[in-house]
């Protein structure tokens, strides 16, 4: 895994999983929210955003979280691994409420500067409608992945935790194996 994309509904845990995977795999972490939003929740212009994404994709390795469907076709071919967090929307709504409470009035670490956490009805509606409106589009894109790309679909917090544990164990075993191989040639 060298280029990992994490997709899913708002509140599914994309940023948290991205942080965990970046730490385990020792890869740079790219939160798309931090690159898309400008101060005071001002959106990037469409062409500027596409150029920003293209520049981010030039990096040799990364873990990238965020949906941003307008650039999904640009990003998907670059990823060797795609993790889709397909969690229930009621859980995502609960987590968004929890996140709002935790960061209310302040900016989350995975956001652009001066974008204090807020909650409004259009955002809640977007999350509620995600399974019906956004998920099918993502699923169609994921069905077009090449044979060389790995797709991981996680449908519950327990599956996410088990995946992180297995990834950490696999990475630890690989590091141990590499250390054993080095000691054999001393």
Which segments of 48-127 are extended strands (E)?
Answer: 62-65, 81-85
Residue-range domain boundaries for the chain: 3-172
How far apart (Å, rounded) are the C-alpha atoms in residues 13 and 159?
12
CATH 1.25.40.320 fits 3-172, yes or no: no
pLDDT tens digits for range 79-135: 999 999 999 999 999 999 999 999 999 999 999 899 999 999 999 999 999 999 999
- The residue among 3, 67, 15 whose CA lies nearest residue 36 is 67
Distance CA 142, CA 136 (A): 10
pLDDT band at 172 (very low <50, low <70, confident <90, very high): confident
Contact call for residues 10 and 126 (beta carbons, < 8 A): yes
pTM higher than 0.85: yes
DSSP 3-state of 64: strand
Question: Mean of the per-residue pLDDT values for the chain?
Answer: 92
């Amino acid at each position: 895994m060298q280029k990992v994309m994490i997709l899913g509904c708002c509140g599914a845990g994309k940023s948290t999983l991205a942080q965990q995977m970046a730490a385990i795999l020792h890869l740079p972490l790219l939160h798309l929210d931090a690159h898309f939003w400008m101060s005071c929740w001002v959106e990037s212009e469409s062409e500027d955003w596409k150029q920003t994404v293209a520049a981010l994709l030039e990096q040799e390795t990364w873990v990238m979280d965020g949906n941003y469907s307008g650039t999904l076709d640009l990003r998907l071919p670059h990823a060797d691994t795609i993790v889709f967090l397909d969690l229930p929307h009621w859980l995502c709504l609960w987590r968004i409420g929890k996140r709002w409470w935790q960061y209310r009035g302040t900016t989350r670490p995975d956001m652009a500067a001066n974008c204090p956490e807020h909650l409004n009805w259009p955002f809640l509606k977007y999350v509620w409608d995600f399974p019906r409106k956004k998920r099918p589009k993502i699923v169609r894109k994921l069905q077009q992945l090449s044979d060389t790309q790995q797709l991981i679909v996680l449908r519950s917090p327990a599956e996410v935790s088990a995946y992180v544990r297995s990834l950490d164990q696999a990475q630890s075993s690989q590091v141990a194996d590499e250390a054993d191989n080095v000691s054999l040639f001393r």
